[in-house]
């Protein structure tokens, strides 16, 4: 059996000569969540007509009422965009037929066996196909493996009888949104674009140049897809390295945080990464598996990438072991202990709990017989892997009622000075105790062991 190829459909000889490139003025955005809403707002603020399409009735109602479902976009910006040309619609509305360009920003999760799950992308393709008309530009933005745009996504679209290059333009332009960092969605973040033909690339570049100061064109969609995976796999691998070093430092009685601070004084050849309870969000825990899965289709075993992902996945289990160690210090067992988890969002100052390491930490604690409660100022309710739904409790109540506290997400809204003054015993997974007053052997810090008051 021959190996698959990702280049055979790129840049075919035919171009849609009957549909010359003209400035796109009406933009459809399929999926208006953490990734799609910022790009929809950006185009609306640039003076274009934007139609946001989403399968969630609640999200559509929220946006239509002028309320933003994400922290990075204010209600004021949503209201201004609604007045200037932004509207929302269901996938069944047929309004994508009004658009000259359509951008797909839907999730790309993995299956329980860590294989790519393209069902949201293919569902979006079917929605587009239902009203596809000649001359449209289709841009996939969801993070995925090389070959998706020119492969499964294109195949669904072409079931209409219309063909890329001849009847419509097709391109890939990966998102670079960093939740909790509004600047990441600004015009100053360069955009990568790769079209299935030179004309498609040219048109997509012209579109994104309306909202990005720099647009980088690459040869094919596959090049752009691979560039996105490299970005996030690079982060995952480097986080895994410092997580392994952190566990080694615990055994050696050393402080990994001080060591990283020292290494970071080198002005070249080193990039600062820090250990933690694991990785979360919609990209870092997922993207390496997309790359490793695709590599296997070309008879390449990406051991380095897979091992790094495995290291980070194992960190929640290590946190549970630290919790047991901390309680053992006080002559207590984890079974029957009341454990408070501080922060369940996947990163500070956001409400996004997708793939959060807190989920596996909570599951691991409950599997060991602990009673678990949590506080998160941004996540009012949280569902654990067993489907148990819990409500956030006030931080003062959590501290007072817990035998052990675990800091997973250091939100700025939490007064950690007061927290450490009140807390009895803490497992600190993110170095939130640094520089704060704490009692002798009251804080067990990941990568550093028990922290003395002077060292904190």
Indicate the helix (H) or strand (E) that contains 192. strand 191-195
Rounded to whole angstroms, the Cα distance separating 399 from 323 reads 15
Residues in the chain: 456
- Residue 354 φ then ψ, to 5°: -65, 130
Rounded to whole angstroms, the Cα distance separating 369 from 376 reads 22
For the four alpha carbons of 34, 40, 42 and 45, in that order, the dihedral sign comes to negative
The helix/strand/coil state of 20 is coil
Q: Please return the burial class of 23, using the count of CB atoms within 10 Å of its CB with bins 0-12, 13-18 and 19+.
A: exposed
Q: Which residues, other chains included, contact 247 with Cβ-Cβ below 8 Å and sequence gap of 6+?
A: 318, 447
Strand pairing class (389-391; 381-383)? antiparallel
Q: 406-419: string of b/e by CB count within 10 Å (b at 16+)? A: bbbbbbeebebeeb
Structure tokens at 34: 């953490």
Structure tokens at 89: 């619609």
Q: Which of 81, 105, 283, 438 is catalytic?
A: 283
Task: Supply the DSSP string of 412-455, one letter for each residue.
Answer: TTS-HHHHHHH-SSEEESS-TTTTS---TT-EEETTTEEPPTTT
Strand pairing class (86-89; 49-53)? parallel
Per-residue DSSP letter, 168: B
- Residue 81 φ then ψ, to 5°: -70, -40
Q: Specify whether 283 is catalytic.
A: yes
The helix/strand/coil state of 118 is coil
The helix/strand/coil state of 315 is helix
Q: Which residues, other chains included, contact 165 with Cβ-Cβ below 8 Å and sequence gap of 6+?
A: 12, 14, 15, 16, 196, 197, 199, 200
Kindly list the catalytic residues: 283
């Amino acid at each position: 059996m021959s190996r698959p190829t990702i280049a055979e459909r790129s840049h075919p000889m035919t171009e849609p000569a009957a549909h010359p490139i003209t400035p796109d003025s009406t933009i459809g955005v399929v999926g208006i969540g953490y990734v799609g809403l910022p790009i929809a707002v950006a185009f609306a603020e640039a003076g274009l007509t934007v139609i946001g399409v989403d399968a969630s009735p609640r999200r559509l109602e929220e946006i239509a009422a002028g309320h933003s479902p994400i922290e990075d976009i204010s209600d004021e910006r949503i209201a201004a965009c609604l007045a200037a040309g932004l509207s929302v619609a269901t996938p069944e509305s047929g309004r994508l037929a009004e658009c000259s360009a359509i951008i797909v920003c839907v999730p790309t999760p993995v299956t329980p066996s860590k294989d790519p799950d393209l069902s949201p992308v293919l569902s979006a393709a079917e929605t587009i196909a239902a009203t596809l008309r000649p001359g449209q530009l289709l841009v996939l933005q969801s993070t995925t493996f090389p070959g998706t745009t020119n492969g499964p996504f294109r195949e669904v679209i072409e079931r209409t009888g219309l063909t890329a290059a001849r009847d419509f333009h097709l391109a890939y332009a990966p998102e670079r949104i960093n939740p909790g960092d509004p600047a990441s969605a600004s015009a100053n973040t360069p955009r990568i674009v790769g079209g299935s033909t030179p004309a498609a690339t040219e048109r997509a570049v012209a579109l994104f140049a309306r909202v990005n100061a720099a647009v980088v064109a690459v040869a094919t969609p596959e090049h752009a897809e691979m560039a996105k995976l490299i970005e996030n796999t690079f982060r995952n691998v480097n986080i895994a390295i410092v997580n392994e070093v952190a566990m080694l430092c615990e055994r050696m009685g050393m402080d990994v945080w001080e060591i990283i601070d020292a290494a970071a004084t080198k002005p070249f050849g080193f990039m600062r990464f820090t250990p933690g309870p694991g990785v979360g969000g919609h990209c870092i825990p997922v993207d390496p598996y997309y790359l490793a899965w695709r590599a296997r289709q070309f008879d390449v075993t990406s051991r380095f990438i897979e091992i790094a992902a495995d290291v980070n996945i194992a960190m929640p289990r290590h946190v549970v072991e630290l919790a047991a160690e901390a309680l053992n210090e006080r002559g207590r067992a984890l079974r029957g202990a009341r454990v408070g988890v501080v922060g369940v969002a996947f990163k500070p100052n956001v409400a996004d709990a997708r793939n959060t390491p807190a989920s596996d930490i909570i599951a691991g604690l409950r599997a060991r017989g602990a009673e678990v409660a949590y506080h998160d100022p941004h996540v009012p309710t949280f569902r654990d892997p067993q489907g148990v739904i819990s409500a956030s409790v006030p931080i003062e109540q959590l501290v007072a009622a817990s035998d052990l506290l675990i800091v997973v997400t250091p939100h700025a809204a939490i007064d950690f000075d007061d927290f450490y003054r009140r807390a009895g015993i803490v497992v600190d997974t993110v170095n939130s105790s640094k520089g704060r007053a704490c009692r002798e052997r009251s804080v067990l810090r990941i990568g550093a062991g028990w922290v003395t008051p002077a060292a904190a």
